[in-house]
Amino acid sequence: MKNKINVYLADLSHTGQGVSANFFPLGVGYVASYLLKELADQVNVELFKYPEDLSRALSKNRPKIVAFSNYSWNLNLSYEYLKQIKLRSPETITVMGGPNYGLTQEEKELFWRRYPLVDFYIVFEGEYAFVELVKNLDSVNFDPKRLKQNFASLSNCHYQFDGKIVEGEFLPRVKELQELPSPYLSGLMDKFFDGVLIPMISTTRGCPFRCTFCTEGNDYYAKVAKTTDLNEDLEYIVSRVGTVKDLCMTDANFGMFKEDIDKAKTLAAIQKKYDWPKNLIVSSGKNQKERVLEVASIVNGAMYAGGAMQTTDPEILKNIKRSNISLEEMSETVSNQDNNDVDSYTELILALPGDNKKSHTKSLRDMVNMGVNRIRMLQLIMLPQTEINTADTRGKYKMKTKFRLMPRSFGRYEIFGEELSAVEYEEICVSNSTLSFEEYLECRELHLTIETLNNGKIFQEFSGLCGYFGVSWFDVIKTFHSHRRDCSSDLEYLYDTFRKEATENLWDSPDDLERAVSRDLTRYLSNDEGTNEMAKGKTRAIFQMEKDIHRHLMDSVTTEFKNKGIFDKNLKAYLQDLMIYIRVRKEAPLNTGKEMEALLNYDFNVISERGYSVDPKDFRLAQPTKFIFKHSKDQVDLIDAYTKQYGTSLDGLGRTLMRAQYKTLIRKGELLGAQTTCSG
């Protein structure tokens, strides 16, 4: 009997500034579990997430095959490891797989020029293809040259030999996900339950939509494979997950399919039994609004309801082959969220083909005024194997691009006693035939304002009040935005810094970026503010400029109420009390040992339960009453968990702020004494 061969499968994440991609390696987990199902008597398999873990394993044992996932956030890190492995162990067979590859001839040729030491590349789904590759290698005693020299056609696999890129035929896709053994139940994932990484599960694979900017817009992914068998995996995960409160679902359209109702009920049963997960990280369905809303309700507000819109402009939607739910349907989805704990969600992309400042601002206005409180405002990334990344599309819309450093995706690592460094980047569109670079920057500044004021219900005290009186929350935001540089020196600095970073942190080529960052890598690694200018700007605003933000925002609310002719002495008195209430709740919000108190004239406990969408005079107390504000035990546990995951640096606070519901982090009030209300 042959000795088993050792196979390493790595989905590496940078760790130079904390864990960059802090999710379980589910993709390589499925590849590993299927490999063991088919060839358990021939292989030993181990998975890796952290570079340091892989370095330790390589110092003890050189595997026969080492395979790396390839995403934009880990390609160069993986390749640096691959190079060092090839240098010291030329007989080790190197494999890559993942969407960051490209399918046009130009993309493929560029990849093989830049990464020639890759022996084989698995294209599209990897489970069946990797097993077939191992079988073919076994037939030639694991000599890749013998396999290549006959230009063998390997299913779902590309390789380069004698200057030619050889491409195999595509295998049939996985029809049902239950065909793939669970990487959790096999124990392959046990090493990743460390209080930092977020578990991932998959209940569908594929997407029926054809969006030109998305890798799943390819025809290959049109048919959706599904499974409804979640309970065993969830029970296994929850028994080991520890302090991590989140669960990531990789589905592209969760809530859109009829089977998702049963999946949601399974999740709800787990929530009821274990009080986990608190948050679902998932993309919700792009249509079937009633079902999406029902699913969001079943999982107790753990997921955001809504859908990715990308733009509300019909011509731009045609340009990107996008089919959205209507604005009316989206509005109904948001307005039907009678649960104040449920956040609504959408995505908008800047610089799509045909986009301009006016159309993008309208899309933002549509979503804000609709009440969507999680608007993820994205830049257009030129992803490999997407239609939008082709020369034809670039030329047609005169798209100009730059390269940016990916947040936290850089670092230094030790392997075989030597140091290596790696830097990751992505290409983004910064202007086109209808959007200038200056307008791009203006839109980015507006993004920061909306991210700060609207997202996460951070300022729901004001947005709820505006909603009740029919004042446009977007108009308030625009008023704030128009005076952002003349209301305080700190806010002027905030926006000037954001604009400077959004401009200077762009390079003309990946080589320019890599040279610049590598020369100054120590400074980048020691910068605890991070390199994500949006997260950094929001975090500075919320944790360092909270008083200025609230004061300027109250002035903006007052201005819009006066413009509507509805500002009176009752609203003035309420806003004065509201500012006191806000201060005691939000001052040093993550300081769980700090208890605050205040004398207030309104029953803010009831007002907050109603989302602040009330006429304040109906909740005025008969006399000033003391409120005590403190964090609950659940809040303390939640804050401790996020602190363990992300730390307390500005960058870490930003990750917490982007991940958690803000209302779950700030103090809760307890009204003491009489609660009688009076009118007038």
Three-state secondary-structure class, residue 526: helix
Question: How is residue 60 written in tokens?
Answer: 């003890």
pLDDT at res. 677: 53
- Rg for the chain (alpha carbons), in Å? 26
CA neighbours closer than 13 Å in the CB half-sphere of residue 403: 16
pLDDT at res. 341: 54
Question: Residue 193 in contact with residue 242, Cβ under 8 Å?
Answer: yes
How would you class 4 by CB atoms within 10 Å of its CB: exposed for 0-12, middle for 13-18, buried for 19 or more?
A: middle
pLDDT at res. 679: 45
Taking residue 96's Cβ as centre, other Cβ atoms within 10 Å add up to 23
Q: Which residues 6+ apart lie within 8 Å of 478 measured at CB?
A: none
Q: Which residue has the tokens 């975090």?
A: 539
Cross-strand bridge partners of residue 305: 344
Q: Report d(CA 366, CA 297) in Å as an integer.
A: 24
Dihedral-angle region of residue 91 (phi above 0 means left; psi in -120 to 50 means alpha; beta otherwise): alpha
What is the pLDDT of the chain when averaged over all its residues?
Answer: 90
Residues of the chain with pLDDT under 70: 1, 216-217, 222, 286, 305-306, 324-342, 673-680
Give phi and psi for 94, each to the nearest 5: -110, 135
CA angle at residue 653 from 649 to 659, to 5 degrees?
145
Cross-strand bridge partners of residue 46: 8
Chain centre to alpha carbon of residue 81:
26
pLDDT at res. 622: 92
Question: Residue 431 in contact with residue 516, Cβ under 8 Å?
Answer: no
pLDDT tens readout for residues 336-378: 554 445 678 889 999 999 999 999 999 999 999 998 888 999 9
pLDDT at res. 680: 42
Q: Is the dihedral of CA 105, 109, 111, 116 positive or negative?
A: positive
For residue 642, the one-letter residue type is: Y
Taking residue 433's Cβ as centre, other Cβ atoms within 10 Å add up to 14
Question: How is residue 219 written in tokens?
Answer: 């025809």
- pTM above the 0.85 mark? yes
pLDDT at res. 74: 96
Taking residue 332's Cβ as centre, other Cβ atoms within 10 Å add up to 15
Closest by CA to 204, choosing from 315, 126, 282, is 282
Q: Which residue has the tokens 């030129």?
A: 382
Q: Report d(CA 561, CA 433) in Å as an integer.
A: 39
Question: How is residue 409 written in tokens?
Answer: 């995706």
Share of the chain above pLDDT 90, in %: 69
